[in-house]
Chains A and B, each alone.
Chain A
Amino acid sequence: MRGRGVLIPNYVRGGSIVHRTPLWLKFLLVAGCGLASFLIVDWLVSAVVLAVMCGLFMLSGAGFKRLVHSVWLVTPILLVIGAFQWWQLGGPVAARIVLNVLVCVVAASVLTVSTPVQALLDGVVSLSRPFERFGADPERFALTIAIMLRSLPFIAGAFSDVRDSARARGLERNPRALVLPVFITTVAYARQTGDALAARGLGDPED
């Protein structure tokens, strides 16, 4: 079944202080974490920020399991990045880069577990209103975010399915047998999603 690998966890109902925090503040937090990843130069500071983000996640009541799961899925990539940076720039820089990526992942997770998707989309619409004067459609911005949230787990799930199929045929070491079907599945999925949105009149320009 596709969609098993959920990188950014879904909304968890609750009334925690994180849930009650205004959306703009949570947006600011995520943006701030993204910015900080360029500014922080000490891995110890990155570790402290990560600990704070993890604390906020736990405060939301979404649970340790969800936190570990969202981090676990990026672990293979982070290991590769970390090893490469260690080799190129040394341990402290590698630790800082890996921790900064984790800060961004956990901050995004804090936002998504404590905010219903529709509220998130309404927020995106409000944020992108100023761009309307340049011809941008805020609803399209929101729709793009919605599709992104939906597509990440699908692609992760497609990769998992294809890997199982390749294993069943003894082709797990053949990169072409893994990459090509995922690519084709993803393109087909994009077309289907486009059709589904068009059929529902979503994404058409506003009157």
Chain B
Amino acid sequence: MNTIILSEVSVRVAVDGSPAPKTLLQDVSLELTEERIAVIGANGSGKSTLLRLLNGLVAPSEGAVTVNGADSMGDVRQVRSQVGFVFTDPLSQLVMPTGREDVELSLRRSIKNSKERAARAESVLERFGLLKLADQSIYELSGGERQLLALAAVLAVNPAVLVLDEPSTLLDLRNRELLRRTLAGLEQQIIMSTHDLELALEAERALVVDGGRIVFDGGAADAVEHYRALCSEAAAPGEVRGVAAGSSQGKVQAT
């Protein structure tokens, strides 16, 4: 079992033309041990920042993040070897011209022998049903195929935790279903932000992020209900809700 701990984490960034920094996340304390965790919330609520903390892509301004005891800043290599990260747009993640080459790139650090590396890449691509597309340009693949390929490239090094930042946002219904089935079959701990509430409902635990704070933490069904209420409230006529830190009035339920 993996244990990810966020202790009183805040993230602030400087904003051009403003003397005060913008708060992206405020006082987040979590212990993430469940196998399937969903993170839901509006655009700009802080979901991506929260996920990026887990891979060391974002440094906490305050507090600390540890993955199985490794600090996300101090032991960043160890953290990244344990936490695979899948971005929303696979094209920003796939570095090489073809899928085969990209998977091999992932394996360059762990497998020095080129034949061994090629064989391993072949088996990874086969596992995800991507072998026939392995030598095609990544630009010739469909959105779903690219997302699967990005997933395969990350899973090639067998991370213990898989973090996905809105992986289904750019996918059509069929590819979304394909991704859902693929994720369901993985043995890794999965932490995923999503706007797809059906996908979120499959999680054991769900976090609702609003205004840089965790405003709900609990079962997926309750979280989705809470999020819907939050959205209805925000969309009420004549009411303007900011996304700046401290604006949320949500209830946090400890699990």
For residue A157, which residues in chain B have a CB less than 8 angstroms away from its CB? Answer: 139
Across the interface, do B139 and A196 meet the contact criterion of CB distance under 8 Å? no
- B91 at the A interface (CB under 8 A): yes
For residue A199, which residues in chain B have a CB less than 8 angstroms away from its CB? Answer: 55, 57, 80, 84-85, 87, 93
Say how far A167's CB is from chain B's closest CB, in angstroms.
21
Across the interface, do A197 and B91 meet the contact criterion of CB distance under 8 Å? no
Interface size class of A (residues with CB under 8 A): 35 or more
For residue B206, which residues in chain A have a CB less than 8 angstroms away from its CB? Answer: none
Contact of A150 among B56, B76, B84, B96 (CB under 8 A): B96
For residue A118, which residues in chain B have a CB less than 8 angstroms away from its CB? Answer: 101, 104-105, 108, 114, 117-118
Task: Indicate with 1 or 0, residue by residue over B164-196, a CB within 8 angstroms of chain A CB atoms.
Answer: 000000000000000000000000000000000
**Which residues in window 1-46 of A have CB below 8 A to B?**
1-4, 10-11, 13
Q: Once the chains are docked, how many angstroms separate the CA of A196 from the CA of B94?
A: 8
Across the interface, do B139 and A4 meet the contact criterion of CB distance under 8 Å? yes
- A146 at the B interface (CB under 8 A): yes
Given A196-B92, A196-B95, CB of A146 within 8 Å of CB of B105: yes
Across the interface, do A196 and B93 meet the contact criterion of CB distance under 8 Å? yes
Say how far B137's CB is from chain A's closest CB, in angstroms.
7
Across the interface, do B135 and A197 meet the contact criterion of CB distance under 8 Å? no
Across the interface, do B109 and A192 meet the contact criterion of CB distance under 8 Å? no
Q: Once the chains are docked, how many angstroms separate the CA of A204 from the CA of B104?
A: 17
For residue A117, which residues in chain B have a CB less than 8 angstroms away from its CB? Answer: 96-98, 101
- A116 at the B interface (CB under 8 A): yes
- B153 at the A interface (CB under 8 A): yes
For residue A201, which residues in chain B have a CB less than 8 angstroms away from its CB? Answer: 77, 80-81, 109, 157
- A195 at the B interface (CB under 8 A): yes
Q: Once the chains are docked, how many angstroms separate the CA of A139 from the CA of B85?
A: 21
- B106 at the A interface (CB under 8 A): yes
Across the interface, do A197 and B95 meet the contact criterion of CB distance under 8 Å? yes
Interface size class of B (residues with CB under 8 A): 35 or more
**Max chain A C-beta neighbours (<10 A), residue from B55, B87, B94, B139:** B139
For residue A11, which residues in chain B have a CB less than 8 angstroms away from its CB? Answer: 97-98
Across the interface, do B95 and A121 meet the contact criterion of CB distance under 8 Å? no
- B6 at the A interface (CB under 8 A): no
Across the interface, do A196 and B87 meet the contact criterion of CB distance under 8 Å? yes
- B154 at the A interface (CB under 8 A): yes
- A184 at the B interface (CB under 8 A): no
**Which residues in window 116-169 of A have CB below 8 A to B?**
116-119, 121-122, 139, 142, 146-147, 149-150, 153, 157
Task: Indicate with 1 or 0, residue by residue over B65-96, a CB within 8 angstroms of chain A CB atoms.
Answer: 00000000000110011001101010111111
For residue B135, which residues in chain A have a CB less than 8 angstroms away from its CB? Answer: 13
Q: Once the chains are docked, how many angstroms separate the CA of A206 from the CA of B108?
A: 11
6 A-B pairs besides A11-B98, A189-B92, A204-B80 with CB distance below 8 A are A3-B138, A10-B97, A146-B96, A150-B97, A196-B87, A196-B95
Show the binding face of A for B, using Cβ within 8 Å.
Answer: 1-4, 10-11, 13, 116-119, 121-122, 139, 142, 146-147, 149-150, 153, 157, 189, 192-193, 195-202, 204, 206-207
20 interchain pairs (CB within 8 A)? A3-B137, A10-B98, A116-B101, A117-B98, A118-B105, A118-B108, A121-B105, A121-B108, A146-B96, A149-B97, A150-B95, A189-B92, A192-B92, A195-B87, A196-B92, A197-B95, A198-B57, A198-B80, A201-B81, A204-B76
Show the binding face of B for A, using Cβ within 8 Å.
Answer: 55-57, 76-77, 80-81, 84-85, 87, 89, 91-98, 101, 104-106, 108-109, 114, 117-118, 135, 137-139, 153-154, 157
